[in-house]
Amino acid sequence: MKRLVVFTLLRVVDGLVKLAMPRVETHRLLLVPGIEPLRWRLGRWRAWRTMERAARSVPAYRAFLREHGQGRRLDTRNGVEAAFARLPEMDKESYVKRWSIAERCLGGRLPRRGVVVDESSGSSGVPTSWVRGPDERQATRQLLQLGFARTSAELPHPPFVLNAFSLGAWATGMNVTASLTESTMIKSIGPDPDKIIQTMREFGTGFTYVILSYPPFLKGLFEDDRLDWSQYTIVAAFGGEGISENMRGHILEYARAVLGSYGASDLEINLGIETEFTVALRRAIADDPDLAARLTRQQEYGVLPMIFQFNPFGYLIETNDAGELVVTIARAENISPRIRYNIHDRGHVTRMRDVLPVLREKGLSAVVAEKFLDLPLLFHYGRSDLSVDYNGAVVAPDALRDVLQGDPALLQAVENHRLIAFEDAAGDRQLHIALQLSAHAGDLDTGPWRDVVVSGLRRLNLDFSNAIRTAAPATLPTVAFYAHRTGPFARDGAKLKNEYVWQLGPGEVDQHDLDLGWTAPREA
């Protein structure tokens, strides 16, 4: 009876949502403050219905559940969340790569019309195709337009979006262009600084340029002195990876706002967004260790989390025992459902009702005043499968990023970084911290900066600090700075995304011309 009542109610709600979808102004009503508990509950019910529909109609998911001894219906007597926790997690290896695209679709087939195919490169660089039907593309479009509508309403000049994400079949650039074409003027350029500068010169200073790209590209773009950036009004929006607050501050020297989006090609490109509130909260956490301890797992993971807000009506986001995010897209219309999909990112969700009392207790009224959405918060600590192990400690490239971007000199001088784990000729596991200097780094005396980098990592990650103290002398981490596009960075730019972690096998070290001459001191 409960299932019948819930699913009937959801049909009514879905009908109202579809009526709202054509207009951003109407869709905005779905995010009004004060109905957060309703959104939270409806989202869980929608995920329940979507799971049971997939269990009936998707051949791959039906087989996947059968393998794990799970039936097609959820036992929700102890609540939907408890029932979902008993379902198996899926990911690329356990699900996507084992069944064909058609077998992962509703009815076991691809629709003949209305399907868009895009790609993700992943950390391996091997593309994976993802199929998206018209309903899910419409939902993504409305969320992007809604966020853009709020931003553009506060701009002093008409907005002109310059999409500098990688184009072609890649998910982000492709979907951003499709989503924003209806609501603004947009030019899809790709990560090409020459064309961006040429476009801005051509159209002049009468627009607010909303430049979308990855953080390293934005930094390099604004450091290009061919344009007097102070003459232009700019908003920077980023995705694809995190950013340090020091890097945000650096970009804010050129842009009036710097906000990020969280998504994954495996799921959707815009699961969550940074807001003025989340940025203010993140800065407060960075300044207050006690606040960080109460709201985050920063001490455990050794990195300041990115913080986003997301709509629980559309997504059920859990955290498993390994601290990884497990996401269910609640929307029933997706032609290729994702039920408890593990994207191997570390993170957790906290509802606004649990955060605001802590902020008020701390006297952070200025942070609270920035809140305009009561959507829950997603704390994101980076990839769980893109870290390296060192003598029992887990070292994440995000932590190295925060160290490098936390010092103005390193922020200016270092273009890219990489953690390289390998086995030496003696069979010992080694860690090499490789830092690529920018083409315009100038004469940086890199000697003292090696200590700065290691000390910064040890400060953020106590496990890493202890691992150094207990390491054998022959296995202490090594650090080296490399001239632009040399050593392990010689082939940078050949792939879509930066590579921040390498795991090298025996005998592969010499192929990359690693400089292993400096080792970290045992004591901090």
Q: For 273-294, what is each residue's pLDDT tens digit?
A: 898 999 999 999 999 999 999 9
pLDDT of residue 419: 94
Query: Between residues 334 and 197, which one has the greater pLDDT?
Result: 197
Radius of gyration in angstroms for the set of CA atoms belonging to the chain, rounded to a whole number = 24
pLDDT at 126: 63
User: What does DSSP say about strands 388-390 and 429-437: parallel, antiparallel, or unpaired?
Assistant: unpaired
Mean pLDDT of 306-332: 94
Tally of CB atoms within 10 A around 91: 18
pLDDT at 507: 67
Q: Tokens for 308, please give them.
A: 């986003």
Q: Report how many helices (DSSP H) and strands (DSSP E) the chain contains, helices first.
A: 19, 19
Sign (positive or negative) of CA dihedral 253, 205, 214, 182? positive
Residue 459: exposure state from Cβ atoms within 10 A (0-12, 13-18, ≥19):
middle
pLDDT of residue 338: 96
pLDDT at 423 over 90: no
pLDDT digits (tens, 9 = 90+) for 259-271: 998 988 888 878 8
> Which residues neighbour 349 within 8 Å (Cβ) at sequence distance 6 or greater?
317, 318, 319, 376, 377, 378, 379
pLDDT of 147 higher than 50:
yes
Please tell me the distance from the alpha carbon of residue 478 to that of residue 79, in angstroms, as a whole number.
51
Question: Can you give the pTM of this predicted structure?
Answer: 0.84
Cβ atoms of 342 and 377 within 8 Å: the answer is no
CA dihedral 236, 237, 238, 243 (to 10 degrees): 60
Lowest mean pLDDT among 175-179, 192-196, 426-430: 175-179
The answer, yes or no, to whether residue 407 has pLDDT greater than 80, is: yes
CA distance 143 to 270: 8
Q: Strand ranges (DSSP E) for 335-445?
A: 341-350, 377-383, 388-390, 393-395, 414-423, 429-437
- Find the range with the poorest average confidence among 182-191, 307-316, 330-339: 182-191
Neighbours of 65 (CB within 10 A): 19
**pLDDT one-digit tens code per residue, 157-192:** 888 999 988 776 555 666 676 666 666 788 989 888
The total of other beta-carbon atoms located within 10 Å of residue 367's CB is 24
Report the range out of 6-15, 224-233, 300-309, 388-397 with the highest average pLDDT.
Answer: 224-233
CA neighbor of 470 nearest in space, from 523, 394, 400, 428: 523
Q: Which residue has the higher pLDDT, 161 or 153?
A: 161
Match 């906290």 to its residue by tokens. Answer: 350
Q: How far is 281 from 297, CA to CA, in rounded Å?
A: 15
Higher pLDDT, 94 or 26: 94
What's the pLDDT band for 393 if we cut at 50, 70, 90?
A: confident
3-state class of 494 per DSSP?
Answer: coil
pLDDT tens by residue, 348-357: 999 999 999 9
Band of residue 26 on the pLDDT scale cut at 50, 70, 90? very low
**Using the 8-state DSSP alphabet, how is residue 92 labeled?**
I
pLDDT of residue 68: 96
- Average pLDDT of the chain, as a whole number: 86
Give the residue, 336 or 124, on which the prediction is more confident.
336
Q: Which helix (H) or strand (E) holds 319?
A: strand 315-319
Name the percent of the chain in helix, strand, coil, to the closest 5.
Answer: 40, 20, 35
Average pLDDT over residues 128-152: 70
- Give the pair of three-digit tokens for residue 88: 């198996």
- Residue 1: pLDDT above 90? no
The pLDDT of residue 20 is 57
pLDDT at 325: 96
Q: What percent of the chain is modeled with pLDDT above 70?
A: 87
Cβ atoms of residues 55 and 72 within 8 Å: yes
Q: How far apart are CA 417 and CA 401, in angstroms?
A: 7
Higher-confidence residue of 142 and 57: namely 57
pLDDT score recorded for residue 288 = 96
Q: Show the domains of the chain with their CATH numbers.
A: 1-109+274-385 (no CATH), 111-270 (3.40.50.12780), 388-512 (3.30.300.30)
- Give the helix/strand (H/E) hosting 443: none
Token pair belonging to 295 = 């709201």
Q: Quickly count: other Cβ atoms within 10 Å of residue 62's Cβ.
A: 16
**pLDDT per position as a tens digit, 101-115:** 999 999 999 988 888
Amino acid at 91: D
